[in-house]
Chains A and B, each alone.
Chain A
Amino acid sequence: MAPIFTANESQNMRFLIRHIQESLKNKIDPALLRRVDEAPRHNIGEFGTDPFGYDPELIKLIAPVARFFYDNYFRCEASGLDRIPQGRVMLIANHSGQLPFDAMMIGASILLEAPQPRLVRGMVERWSAELPFVSTLFNRAGQFVGSPAIGKRLLEMDEALMVFPEGAKGIAKLYSERYKLQSFGHGFMRLALETQTPIVPVALVGAEEQAPAIADIKPLAKLLGFPAFPLVAPHILPLPLPVKYYLHFGEPMKFGGDGTEDDDVIAGYVNEVKDTIQHMLHVGLEQRPSIF
């Protein structure tokens, strides 16, 4: 097969791509780039990615988008960011709002406002790995398909891991169930005990009103292979309502053990975390002046 592009053309093309990337980076606020550079990086290989395909340089292009949502759209207010310890840490938060903007905002708050900027790794739904472009973007941005084995490896690399133990049940919850935590999975606790990781409970107030869902059409979700198919009230707009986010980071919690305990013991620990987050949610709700 004859080359479709000659060597010269393909060189020009690559030059063009690099030029676009450089000029995009020049447009970005240097303070923001510095924050990304200050964040610790682990295990970056010869080709600029970590073993799972995460490229911190890509965060520089995503950070301005995240900052727009953080500062202008959701007007986030974070408290307790100084409580996040150095080294490996697990952020456990409530999940809500139909679209995972809550994950993006927790990541953004730690990247933009924490005393020590961190790049947070999150877990994504399994079916997103089947989507073209989205799967690659998530992969490069450090989001991985939820699996305890990968989580363990990342924690051993001293990364910050964000987990929503409610899972799809949480993000797809209906408007009537807002701020009621769904049942928590136990996997995160075993992982934390196994790797001796401190747990930081996070309560996110605001996101639960961003896309009020009236009903969940389960058969349609099953047909499309989605985790849920919520009927959202203002579903004409692809964006959520511009609610105000309040992020509350709690004191790090440490549990003793090695992850091989009985389910009853683990369930006790999990409930302790769940109650803490539920309590933080109640306090946050009382303090909040208005939804918007």
Chain B
Amino acid sequence: MNLFIQLLLNGVVAGSVYALVAVGFALIFGATSHFHIAHAAVFSGAGYLAVIATQNLGLPGGVAAAVGLILAVLLGVALVRFLYTPLGRRGGQGFVLFLVSLGALVVVDNLFTINLGARPAQLSLGGWFHRAIPMGSWSMTVGQVALVAITVVAFTALLLVLTKTRAGKLITAYSGNPEFVEIVGRRPQRVLVLVYAAGSLFAALAGLYVAADTGMQPGLGETFFIISIMAVFIGGIGSVTGAFIAAMALGVLQNVLLMRIDAEWTLPVIFVLFLVLITVSPAGLSGLKLTSRRRPA
């Protein structure tokens, strides 16, 4: 039982990382239908850039993390501003936009690998990050508690913004009907940038945590991305809440599975379960809202 609860706690931590990436992607994918695979580059970029800021510029951990966060969000905005929108104007659609996104991911990821090498790039935020907080017979580190808290706060804030503010309503309007945004006198391009910036912010938070926890490595972005995207599909496309819940569930499942199977097999088992699920029910666990799927950027 003790082990189970500890694994449950670890699962919530892993689930929080997935949830941040998944919620960001759900926001972007729900609004644009664009399979923005370079989301993985924003995730790893935040971690890598923060590490570069400490190593090459000598900034303290906290400042470097902020720098990484801002630069990663700018990376997400730059992708839509300089790649997706111009390509969309030239008539590029679904598949072409996906390939350009894949190309951008490969470029960004490998440029960081050239700079930092294939070793894990560790972001040191200070000793507090790995200090354990004992909780009876279980424990979590300060960093883990901070991650879960930030995830819950960020997600709640997003829900509030989406439902209560003008910007959030514009995003919702955009997902249903981009032309409508134009009709009411708003620039669709601005809404688009806002969507990508907000989505990137979530991925960047997750990337910073992973860099500070285990270090960022080549290929790590893709792995976290693909698990999170599964959560988006399981939760139902267009639903940030569905993505959040499914991501948490995946994180918990992945850790609880450790009671029965070896660590190197937990991910394959989850992937196989996902394949079975979408084969049986392509719409995921909740209903799929087709009406919110519109043309990409």
Bound pair (A, B): no
Q: Which residues of B contact A (CB under 8 A)?
A: none
